[in-house]
Structure 1
Amino acid sequence: MGRWLFWLVVLGFGGTAVSVWRGWLDVPPEWNPWAPLDVKAAPNGLTGYKLMRLRGDPALCAQALSSSALRVSRQADSPGAKCPLIGALRVQGGEVALSSSFIASCPLAVAYAMFEQHTLQPAAQSIYGQKVTRLDHLGSFACRNVYNRESGALSRHASADALDIAGFRMADGRAVSVLKDWPKQNQDAQFLRQVRDGACEAFSVVLSPDYNAAHRNHFHVDVGRWSVCR
């Protein structure tokens, strides 16, 4: 009896999925796995899947990015470079200003837009009752191996899929630094941990000072195929 019930559930779910995919069953876009990601919509259980789909579909990624307030410009392709970039963007900022613009793959740009809207600003309002006005970073694209080793796997930075975030500035001028404030036990440390935890909803990998000493002064965030939140 249990086996038959299991297969009835599987068939029912499969039929529903096919109906949604074919357009026979009308569901809100945020609950349709095949609907484009809307950056402004509140994240839900399908957000991770929708972000993952962007990695192999430039047109779908561009559509998702257009739903954000992020300002970007197209970078020239460099197919013959040691670390080739195709379809890369220069992110110039959104509601939050940047210490400098950075180069990003489209999936990284979308993940950053999600992070800014659904993690960073809510955390600042929750802890400080004000907005973040600037994000300080240590860079994104760098044609190098992991930890700058002479050999081994390329870093996610080599494909513009990663960003290193060093700190934030609030509307009242307060500066919050990963290096200086992570070890403390105060509002700033609470804010940084809330940002780190929330970032894991937008990025596939988030590495903080809890990961190792190499990340003592920044959060490494990327949109690679591994999933780590630490």
Structure 2
Amino acid sequence: MRALRRTLRALVVLICLLALAFALYAFIRNRPQDLPWTPLDLGQPVGLFTGRKLTALTEDYPRCRLRLDRAGASYAEAPEVDGGDHCGYSDGVRLRARGSNTIRFAPADLTTSCSVAAAFLMWEWNTIQPAAQRIFGQRVETVQHFGSYSCRRMYGRDSGPWSEHATADALDVAGFELADGTRISVAGDWNGSGDKARFLHAVRDGACDLYATVLSPDYNAAHRDHLHLDQANRGAAGWRACR
């Protein structure tokens, strides 16, 4: 029993030291977003715990909208969809291409869960536009997509787990269009060593810091033509995937 108590005390001390180390690191670098207990700020650069804070928004629609509002995002709340026991959503939003979020969607009428939209904004600000400027010297105007909400199981099977698309907690991105009209598609440009492939890999990698699951053509043939981004909330200790 004494040995157990000593072990528990040592564990508590270790946790306190780790928390102090995180706080000192964030203070020195002036990066509150690197601390797990600070509020999420979509306007801050991506921090160590940003991805998990974004995923946690799937459980708190009012707090998610507050984060969008404070970031100056332009969006509209979407009507609730009741799709039965496994499908539907009550936290849908439609991002608008104005204000601080300037990318257009094609097709234009795209509704996602609020947490997916919040992560998308940070993806645009921190990864998509910087990568486009660095590689092509211009901005991305449009994102082509295969949609978000779809009442189905994973891979469209008749049985098995339900897809995150069934609750609009996923988005499939098929490609991008630059300001000069240049098109970049996952299906046609993922492989290779050119600028388009470099851009696609860069935005995939950046999405991994913001979404719970990111799947690309590197994962399997089912994702050969799109990037799957989802915010499956599996808890603070839940696994995250980037492939």
TM-score normalized with structure 1 length:
0.85
1:92 corresponds to: 96
2:33 corresponds to: 30
Q: For residues 13 and 129 of structure 1, do their structure 2 counterparts lie closer, same or farther at Cα, with a shift above 3 Å needed?
A: same
Q: Which stretch of the first structure deviates more once superposed, 178-187 or 53-62?
A: 53-62
Q: For residues 136 and 11 of structure 1, do their structure 2 counterparts lie closer, same or farther at Cα, with a shift above 3 Å needed?
A: closer
Give the conservation status (yes or no) of the 8 Å contact 2:35–2:48. no
Deviation at 1:13, TM superposition (A): 5.1
Deviation at 1:35, TM superposition (A): 3.6
Q: Which stretch of the first structure deviates more once superposed, 73-82 or 113-122?
A: 73-82
Deviation at 1:52, TM superposition (A): 3.1
1:159 corresponds to: 167
Q: Distance in 2 between matches of 1:196 and 1:31?
A: 21
Q: Which stretch of the first structure deviates more once superposed, 30-39 or 149-158?
A: 30-39
Give the conservation status (yes or no) of the 8 Å contact 2:88–2:168. no
Q: For residues 189 and 67 of structure 1, do their structure 2 counterparts lie closer, same or farther at Cα, with a shift above 3 Å needed?
A: same
Structure 1 unpaired stretches of 5+: 20-26
Counterpart mapping for 1:182-201 below 5 A: 182-201=190-209
- The alignment covers a number of residue pairs equal to 220
Deviations 1:134-162 (A, max 9, x none): 11111110011111111111111000000
Give the conservation status (yes or no) of the 8 Å contact 1:92–1:102. no
Deviation at 1:12, TM superposition (A): 4.7
The secondary structure found in structure 1 opposite 2:81 is coil
Q: Distance in 2 between matches of 1:114 and 1:5?
A: 38
The secondary structure found in structure 2 opposite 1:101 is coil
Q: For residues 163 and 188 of structure 1, do their structure 2 counterparts lie closer, same or farther at Cα, with a shift above 3 Å needed?
A: same
1:220 corresponds to: 228
1:173 partnered with 2:181: yes
Q: For residues 61 and 32 of structure 1, do their structure 2 counterparts lie closer, same or farther at Cα, with a shift above 3 Å needed?
A: same
Q: For residues 28 and 148 of structure 1, do their structure 2 counterparts lie closer, same or farther at Cα, with a shift above 3 Å needed?
A: closer
Q: Which amino acid aligns with 2:216?
A: S
Q: Distance in 1 between matches of 2:89 and 2:55?
A: 19
1:45 partnered with 2:48: yes
Deviations 1:68-115 (A, max 9, x none): 344321122234645131122223343111112311111111111111
Residue identity over aligned pairs, in percent, reads 40
Give the conservation status (yes or no) of the 8 Å contact 2:52–2:212. no
Deviation at 1:228, TM superposition (A): 1.0
Q: For residues 210 and 78 of structure 1, do their structure 2 counterparts lie closer, same or farther at Cα, with a shift above 3 Å needed?
A: same
Q: For residues 60 and 32 of structure 1, do their structure 2 counterparts lie closer, same or farther at Cα, with a shift above 3 Å needed?
A: farther
TM-score normalized with structure 2 length:
0.81
Deviation at 1:31, TM superposition (A): 4.9
The secondary structure found in structure 1 opposite 2:43 is coil
Q: Which has the higher contact order (CA 8 A, sep 6+)?
A: 2
Q: Which amino acid aligns with 1:210?
A: D
Deviation at 1:185, TM superposition (A): 2.0
